[in-house]
Amino acid sequence: MPKKILIVEDNSQNMKVELMALRPYGYTLLQATDGEEALEIAVNNKPDLIIMDIQLPEISGLEVTRRLRQMPTFSHTPIIALTAYAMRGDRERVIEAGCDAYLSKPISTRELPRVVAEMLSERRQDNT
């Protein structure tokens, strides 16, 4: 079974870049463009990893992450935060909200798949 990745991103151009970066690796890629949709798709599909844009309309990526972490199913699911600009204190805020890793935009099409693969293999080790 290919690993399922949920990409949460409200900017269609960034979504395209993220899909393009991950498509060659054979993952099943799910997409959400806001927080409510992200929660719904996560609950229904139980992704193995989530890429979370922090700047979202309505509910922020930080709040979506906090809500996911309250659910037993998602207590250990790797969540990679993406932020539009590196702000002082961003890293602390995203880690505190429950994200495991942090990348700042612009999205690096080389770094994103590398971090995704790393997080998925760490998870596999945890489960043995």
Q: Which is nearer to Mn ion, 49 or 81 (CB)?
A: 81
Q: Which of these segments, 19-27, 40-48, 50-58, 112-120, binds Mn ion (CB under 5 A)?
A: 50-58
* Residue 56 C-beta: closest distance to Mn ion, Å: 6
Site for Mn ion (CB under 5 A): which residue of 31, 33, 55, 108?
55
Q: Which is nearer to Mn ion, 10 or 63 (CB)?
A: 10
Q: How many residues bind Mn ion (CB under 5 A)?
A: 3
Q: Which is nearer to Mn ion, 20 or 121 (CB)?
A: 20
Q: Are 99 and 79 in contact (CB under 8 A)?
A: yes
Residue 104 touching Mn ion (CB under 5 A): no
Q: Are 34 and 6 in contact (CB under 8 A)?
A: no
3-class state of residue 42 by DSSP: helix
3-class state of residue 7 by DSSP: strand
What DSSP line would sit under 82-117, residue for residue?
Answer: EESS--TTHHHHHHHHT-SEEEESSPPTTHHHHHHH
Helical (H) or strand (E) element with 68: helix 61-69
Residue 48 touching Mn ion (CB under 5 A): no
Q: Which of residues 7-46 bind Mn ion (CB under 5 A)?
A: 10
Q: Are 85 and 63 in contact (CB under 8 A)?
A: no
Residue 60 touching Mn ion (CB under 5 A): no
- The residues binding Mn ion (CB under 5 A) are 10, 53, 55
